[in-house]
Amino acid sequence: MKENVDQNKNKLLLSISYTLGWSLFSLIQLKLLQDLGINTSIAWVDSLVSSILLALFSFLIINNMRYYLPGKERYWYTFIISLAISGLWLLLVRIILWIWFRENIAYQQFLSQTSNIRYFISFLLIGCITMVSLLWFTQKDANEINERELETIQLAKDAELFKLRQQLQPHFLFNSLNSISALAGSKPEKARFMIQQLSDFLRGTLKNEGQEFIPLQEEIDYLQLYLEIEKVRFGHRLDTIVSISEDATKISLPSLILQPIIENAIKFGLYDTTESVTISIDVQTFPQGLRIMITNPYDADTSIANKGTGFGLSSIRRRLFLLYGRNDLIKTTATKTTYTCTLEIPSLIS
């Protein structure tokens, strides 16, 4: 709607400018003819006929450029058109004025004597109109092409973000279903609890499906559901410590961004040990936004995940790049005993 209003305003301004320009040209010609001693009534007719025909031909050129723009290699086309239309304009002006004032011999002589200067002036004006129209519509087409390219890029970006988000859930879902299946016979109560938590988790996924950013508190609440499910799977072996600064709750972050990082921490911390482990989540603010540090125990010698950060972290890195245009928002560091993933979220007040 706003674009249509802007286009209508531009068209109105162009029409007003076009009308005022040719009116001014008509008045200037009238004054020049009067200064040359031409009768006022004849000068009025001469200037009006000349201006109206010139305006009509200019409109024809503008309309032609709207639907046909010569390529860069054919800019000579505008020069030829200007020459031809100027000649046609002069011919029509002379015919109309000759018919109108055919009995005025003195004016006919004046008309013949000023034909060259009339042609030169009309060529300059029509040439300018042609070039301005060419530049105007070329720029307009370039802007439209650029807008379509940006729209295409945005659609591709949204599609990729959606694909990344969709790919995060199946691995966790399959693990949870396997755990539920294993608990159904021996510990049915835990299986029912896990089903309920999984249901709430998936319901939250659907709820946040259309939201790219959510407040930190919602993300933490959603993460707690995931951790409850994982604690059912691993029992007493999994413990978590969550520390959040008070001012951090004002920051929004991409929805479902933390679950893959925690899943990665669980993989690094629990899969290669039978002992209990503690995963710490520390959320603090800094001048540029939000910093989240997730730390888990890690043994470089026995870790089964030592081939890289896996799909989870690589997908987050790609997602953050699509959202913020930066590749440095997620970092990982490892020592002999700990593995830390640091996530930085630029400020976005909820």
CATH code, domain with 216: 3.30.565.10
Q: Do residue 120 and residue 38 come from a single domain?
A: yes
Q: Do residue 264 and residue 318 come from a single domain?
A: yes
Answer yes or no: are the C-beta atoms of 116 and 145 closer than 8 Å.
no
Residue 308 lies in a domain: yes
Residue 199 has pLDDT above 60, yes or no: yes
Cβ of 153: how many Cβ atoms within 10 Å? 10
Percent of the chain whose pLDDT exceeds 70? 75
Nearest of 262, 245, 324, 325 to residue 296 by alpha carbon:
262
Q: Do residue 191 and residue 339 come from a single domain?
A: yes
Strand-pair partners of 345: 290
Last residue of a domain, one of 96, 129, 149: 149
Q: Do residue 203 and residue 329 come from a single domain?
A: yes
pLDDT number for residue 342: 92
Contacts of 347 (CB under 8 A, 6+ apart): 251, 288, 289, 290
Cβ of 74: how many Cβ atoms within 10 Å? 10
Residue 170 lies in a domain: no
Look at the block and give the residue holding tokens 């800094």. 286
Q: Do residue 195 and residue 334 come from a single domain?
A: yes
d(CA 334, CA 295): 10
Q: Do residue 136 and residue 193 come from a single domain?
A: no
Nearest of 30, 16, 204, 46 to residue 111 by alpha carbon:
46
Residue 58 has pLDDT above 60, yes or no: yes
pLDDT digits (tens, 9 = 90+) for 140-183: 877 887 888 777 777 676 666 666 665 555 666 776 777 788 77
Give residue 229's domain range: 187-346
Count how many domains the chain has.
2
Q: Do residue 203 and residue 135 come from a single domain?
A: no
Residue 16 has pLDDT above 70, yes or no: no
pLDDT digits (tens, 9 = 90+) for 333-344: 888 888 899 999
Cβ of 207: how many Cβ atoms within 10 Å? 13
**pLDDT band for position 2 (cuts 50, 70, 90):** very low
Q: Do residue 191 and residue 336 come from a single domain?
A: yes
